[in-house]
Amino acid sequence: MTFQPAPSQMRPDLPGGTPLTIARGDGIGPEIMEATLAVLAAAGARLAIEEITIGERLYRAGHSSGMAPEAWESIRRTGLLLKAPITTPQGGGVKSLNVTIRKGLGLFANVRPVRAYAPFVPTHHPAMDVVIVRENEEDLYAGIEHRQTQDVVQCLKLISRPGTERLIRYAFAFAAANGRRKVTCFTKDNIMKLTDGLFHRVFDEVGAEYPAIARNHMIIDIGAAKLAADPGRFDVVVCPNLYGDIVSDIAAEVAGSVGLAGSANIGQHGAMFEAVHGSAPDIAGQGIANPSGLLLAAVEMLRHIGQGETAGRIADAWAATLEAGVHTADIAGPETRQRAGTQDFAQAVIARLGEAPRILPRARASVAVPVPPVTPRVPQTKTLHGMDVFVEWEGGAEDLATRLLACADADLSLKVITNRGVKVWPEGMPETFCTDHWRCRFEAPAGRPTDPMALVRLLHVLVGAGIAVIKTEQLFAFDGAPGYSLAQGQ
């Protein structure tokens, strides 16, 4: 990165250096960003800063993405973003700007170190030291949603092999480079056998290439419970997007406070560093927010750009501040000697620059991991077996089946009807609750691939018969293995 912003874009208290875009965010964001910048300046971080405005103010100004074009230009130019929390309006037509930034810039890995700081931050697990590596671009966070009937909306869960492999290779490479001994994978592939099953399968394949690192897999529900109850059994945890979002916050709270957690978002063309907590509008402007999450994210940022010595000075001073009993309200406990506001806490860290903690471990520099290559895809034979036709229907399963059977032909026959994934025809159970959203599976005779035009003919007949078709999914086999799931009860 060689861009140097104009002098008017640079803070005078931070000397020119690595180009960095900052966003002060919403709610408590401006307060904790100011505190963080003060510490960075005092520690001698070599940064050339330019500032952008994103989030709530942009939403209200009519930018539905929460970001103006010039903000994108800044981030793409510097390749580095330090972002305070932003507010995403709930509901409505706007999308999460956090997700937009991660996906738009290809920041595929979200890395969240979670450590306990006992006895200075209350926790039941004083030895906790876990890194959550979360996939950052796919899964349900693809945000592809549709309302299909009066009763039913859908959200598509997308898991890709290259996206999964890149993340899992990163997790194992991170573990190997940083002296971690085990990687654990969380999925729910006992239910989502294709999507989560792919993630689990790639985990096993990539893990076999790292024989020196132990690996194990857990179903997400019991895994999250074990992480909360016994975090010492975990070292690095890797998981799909939604699970990672949830368990990383659980882990941070178990360690002591979500307010202490920062995260790195890593991609091939840039990186973003942020606190994991939200914008907390209920305490905005009161000067009581804990800046630690953003400050520790900035520490990881400094390590990422090769300013590890400065990062270590800040991390040690921060730990020494905790040991001195200077705590913000959210982490106050038996060891608290001084309740500090946001800026007072930052000044306490600044006053201890050059000091080392006496009880807490010294700062441990993490080793940067390059973005790993993905194994070239091996072509597979893809054959068409049929089609799932989703229809809106207000009647019962038997009446719908009668209408559909009249539309089928020798090329495609009706095999099963489901409602919300549960088989309701043939031989459905009268107790099954149904909505107005039905999946109707048509398949070719066994062993015979489907002519694509047969699908077109079927849809033509269905629509002509007054069937309200709302969605279709083609059924494929890959090298002979079905690429579609059975219905519940099928």
Q: What are phi and psi of 61, to 5 degrees?
A: -85, 0
Whats the size of the chain, residue-wise?
A: 490
User: How far apart, in Å, are the Cα atoms of 177 and each of 77, 127, 212, 365, 367?
Assistant: 29, 21, 12, 11, 6
Instruction: Report residue 3 as tokens.
Output: 């861009």
Side by side, the strands of the sheet bearing 413-419 are: 422-425, 413-419, 437-443, 382-392, 468-478, 481-482
Instruction: State residue 371's pLDDT score.
Output: 86
Dihedral angle of Cα 367, 370, 371, 373, to the nearest 10 degrees = -130
Q: For the beta carbon of residue 463, count every other beta carbon within 10 angstroms.
A: 12
Instruction: State residue 383's pLDDT score.
Output: 95
Percent of the chain scoring above 70 in pLDDT: 94
Instruction: State residue 16's pLDDT score.
Output: 62
- Please report how many Cα atoms fall inside a 13 Å half-sphere around the Cα of residue 254, on the Cβ side: 23
Contact status, residue 178 vs residue 394, Cβ threshold 8 Å: no
Percent of the chain scoring above 90 in pLDDT: 82
Nearest partner of 326 among 297, 363, 293, 351, judged by Cα: 351
Instruction: State residue 147's pLDDT score.
Output: 96
Q: What are phi and psi of 190, to 5 degrees?
A: -75, -20
Q: Where are the domains of the chain?
A: 1-106+262-364, 124-255, 382-482
Identity (one letter) of the amino acid at 103? K
Mean pLDDT (the chain) is: 92
Q: What is the pLDDT of residues 149-158, one digit of tens each?
A: 999 999 999 9
Instruction: State residue 59's pLDDT score.
Output: 80
Q: What is the pLDDT of residues 44-86, one digit of tens each?
A: 999 999 999 998 888 887 777 788 889 999 999 999 999 999 9
Average pLDDT of 140-147?
92
Q: What are phi and psi of 21, to 5 degrees?
A: -95, 135
Instruction: State residue 5's pLDDT score.
Output: 29
Instruction: State residue 90's pLDDT score.
Output: 66
Task: Assign domain 382-482 one CATH number from 3.40.50.2300, 2.40.30.20, 3.30.365.10, 3.30.70.1570.
Answer: 3.30.70.1570
Q: What is the pLDDT of residues 332-354, one digit of tens each?
A: 999 999 999 999 999 999 999 99
| Burial of residue 86 (number of CB atoms within 10 Å: 0-12, 13-18, 19+) | buried
User: How far apart, in Å, are the Cα atoms of 147 and each of 57, 294, 421, 437, 443?
Assistant: 29, 37, 17, 11, 26
Average pLDDT of 422-429?
94
pLDDT exceeds 90 at position 470: yes
Q: What is the pLDDT of residues 2-46, one digit of tens each?
A: 222 233 233 334 446 999 999 999 999 999 999 999 999 999 999
Instruction: Report residue 400 as tokens.
Output: 């719908």
Considering only 27-31, 387-391, 460-464, 486-490, which range has the smallest mean pLDDT?
486-490
* Cα–Cα distance, 344 to 321 (Å, whole number): 11
Q: What is the pLDDT of residues 83-126, one digit of tens each?
A: 999 987 666 556 678 888 898 889 999 999 999 999 999 999 99
Question: Residue holding tokens 């963080």?
Answer: 36
Decide if 124-255 and 382-482 have a common fold.
no
Instruction: State residue 7's pLDDT score.
Output: 31
Contact status, residue 60 vs residue 103, Cβ threshold 8 Å: no
Q: What is the pLDDT of residues 167-225, one digit of tens each?
A: 999 999 999 999 999 999 999 999 999 999 999 999 999 999 999 999 999 999 999 99
Average pLDDT of 259-274?
93
Q: What is the pLDDT of residues 298-333, one digit of tens each?
A: 999 999 999 999 999 999 999 999 999 999 999 999
Q: 325 Cβ partners below 8 Å, 6+ apart?
A: 120, 335, 336, 337, 338
Instruction: State residue 487's pLDDT score.
Output: 81
pLDDT exceeds 50 at position 128: yes
Instruction: State residue 89's pLDDT score.
Output: 65
Q: Which helix (H) or strand (E) holds 286?
A: none
Average pLDDT of 404-428?
94
What superfamily in CATH does domain 1-106+262-364 come from? Isopropylmalate Dehydrogenase (3.40.718.10)
If phi > 0 it is left, if psi is from -120 to 50 it is alpha, else beta; for residue 166 that is alpha
Q: What is the pLDDT of residues 231-253, one digit of tens each?
A: 999 999 999 999 999 999 999 99
Look at the domain 124-255 and name its fold: Isopropylmalate Dehydrogenase (3.40.718)
